[in-house]
Amino acid sequence: MSRHPKRVELYFVLYLVALLLLLFEPHAPESQTQPPPLLPSETAVEFFPDPSEPRCIVADSAGHRVLQVYDSVISLRYSRPLQHVTVSLQLDSAGSLLWSSEQPRLQAPITVEHTPEERRFQLRWRFRWWDTELSPGVHEYRLRMRIDYTLGTVRHVERLSLPLRVSLFLLPAVEPGQPPASLPPSVPAASPLPPLRLFVPDTLLEVPPFGQWSLELTVFGVEDVRRELDSIFVQPAGAAWVKPQNGSTLLVQGRAPQEGTQRVRVTVIRHADRQTAAATLTAVVQPLPRPDVPEELYPEREYRLDPRLRFSGQETRAELTDGQRLLASSPGTPLVVRPTLSDTGKVLVLRRFLNDQLLDELRLPIRDFPAPELLSLRPEGTAVKVRTRCFGTVGGSPNECRCELLSPAGKVRELRGDLRRILHERYGFVIEQSFLLEGVSPSAPVTLLLRDRAGRQLRWSGHVPPR
């Protein structure tokens, strides 16, 4: 009779890690709805940690040590869009460096997922408890982050320090048919929902009259605003519109009044626990700059009329009319106009529109050039020298004048060598001419008629001043 070896079943005590919790150390909040940021920054970028999500590591099969392992997740949000972001990590315990991302191992314990459109980092810690010799209890760690990023055109560096805690509990293995042992009462309960908060990067907006404004709000305490928010309210009703975006972002849009201020309060309610959070935005209407235009126009001069309607994200329009006809229009860019002599006496109207709302209108009269002027009259040998001034242009050429001697009888000769054409800001051209009255007694009264090329004239009578 052959002998069979006696089968001996040995049940070993397995270390069952019931819960592996990665928790932030508690911070004292300023209020229930306004928890402080993790780290304020000189660049107005704030980083907000969400409570980590604990995951279980379960051993089921006492003899085969089959494990189902889940990573623990740490979410870190930030308040403004960042560019060119790089992240480096260090993990230490009691001042001793355990791991650094600058010298990675084949199996890095912590991985970082960056989701720019949600303004969030997600850190996953795969705690290899079976490789450790940790004793039961609470073990403290510190995760140090260096975040390099560009804000605008400036490069910045943020250094963050996150305290972590691992709670390790040991239970005896369960034999087949034996009811499982309960966890010790000191095992922490599931993490409560994080505080709900609305973060507004700019609570004060400066907008033009009737200007459209938009602002992105970040809702801290939810992962998906479409799924996790129960209600979104705006007060006063109709003052703004809220559009849920991807992740935890809300887009608030509105239109400012013509003047004064506009206050909008946005309130959200979380579906899971009916917790509310609110934020107030204030839109201040800024006065428009005056158009860069002259106070009056003159014929045959080309003018560049700048309505000064340069507002990003707004629909702008400028129109120039003569009261009956539309002469020119633009999307807020400068208009070019050149009145003719036949437009003299008309009034042009410059109108400015913002988002199809008439902002204002400015009247621009078209003036006639002044009549010729007599600058001087003085003896010149046996003759009399006359100095005149005319303004503007006629047919595109500088406007010169003629000098006629009405009395006494005599001869008028122009001194072309004395002709001066002077550029003038208002009139374009000023033309100064000299004429010589021959055969006229310096002591006798004279009567002159100065007439320019457009027919404007000056009649003058008087005595020639003595030498």
* pLDDT > 70 fraction of the chain, expressed in percent and rounded: 75
- Which range, 146-150, 176-180, 416-420, is most confident? 416-420
Over residues 254-274, the pLDDT tens digits come to: 999 988 999 999 999 999 899
Confidence of residue 361 (pLDDT cuts 50, 70, 90): very high
Give yes or no for a cis peptide into 236 (omega within 30° of 0).
Answer: yes
Q: In the structure encoding, which two tokens stand for residue 184, read together?
A: 């010790």
Taking alpha carbons only, the member of 218, 201, 38 closest to residue 117 is 218
Per-residue pLDDT at 118: 76
For every residue of 399-421, DSSP letters joined together read --EEEEEEESS-EEEE-GGG-EE
For domain 373-463, give the fold: Immunoglobulin-like (2.60.40)
> For residues 399 and 453, is the Cβ–Cβ distance under 8 A?
yes
Q: Which residue has the higher pLDDT, 300 or 287?
A: 300
Spans of all domains in the chain: 47-168, 197-285, 303-365, 373-463
Q: Name every residue whose Cβ is closer than 8 Å to that of residue 195 and which is 6 or more positions away in sequence.
A: 29, 32, 33, 35, 220, 221, 275
pLDDT of residue 404: 95
Looking from the CA of 216 toward its CB, the CA atoms found within 13 Å total 15
Residue for token pair 């009264």: 445
- Chain-centroid distance, C-alpha 456: 55
- CA separation for the pair 64, 178 (Å, rounded): 17
Tokens of 437: 């009255």
Return mean pLDDT, the chain.
80
- CATH, range 47-168: 2.60.40
pLDDT digits (tens, 9 = 90+) for 444-457: 789 999 999 999 99
How far apart are alpha carbons 121 and 77 in whole angstroms? 6
Domains 197-285 and 373-463 equal at CATH topology level: yes
Phi and psi at residue 130, in whole multiples of 5°? -75, -15
What is the pTM (predicted TM-score) of this model? 0.55
Q: Are 218 and 208 in contact (CB under 8 A)?
A: no
Residues 6+ apart with CB under 8 A from 175: 11, 62
Domain spanning 197-285: CATH superfamily: Immunoglobulins (2.60.40.10)
Length of the chain: 467
Mean pLDDT to the nearest integer, 165-176: 58
